[in-house]
Amino acid sequence: MSTTPEELRAKMVQIAGRYLDRVTKEVIQLRGMIDSAAGGDLAVVREIETLTHRMHGSGAMLQFNEIAERAGELERMAAGFVAAGTFDQPRMLDVFQQLQAAIEKALAERSASTGLQP
């Protein structure tokens, strides 16, 4: 028994929806982590790197390109901060806000195409 193209598309829509639900929650967590890292805790910056790495990879795989790009930028920024032993919260918040806007845009597009509430 093989999967039809329609079934495959429906499954991808479902997976994409779960991804958007997950990153919507993770972006709240990420903001708290950025605030915590402002005190210079590089362990938190490593956690930011890990979280944004996952957001970046999954987003790219599911073709949420704008989300993936911003998350990737945050991932690289966090890695650079860890390597340098410093943290620049204002710089990270700027990209964070771009990530948040990309997520909101993807949610709005999902809502418009499926009739679901964001």
Model confidence pLDDT, tens digit, residues 26-58: 999 999 999 999 988 999 999 999 999 999 999
DSSP string, 26-63: HHHHHHHHHHHHTT--HHHHHHHHHHHHHHHHHHHHTT
User: What pLDDT score was predicted for residue 1?
Assistant: 64
DSSP conformation class of 104: H
User: For residue 28, with 0-12 CB atoms within 10 Å meaning exposed, 13-18 middle and 19 or more buried, which class applies?
Assistant: exposed
| pLDDT tens sequence across 68-79 | 999 999 999 999
Which pair of tokens denotes residue 94? 């700027």
User: For residue 68, with 0-12 CB atoms within 10 Å meaning exposed, 13-18 middle and 19 or more buried, which class applies?
Assistant: buried
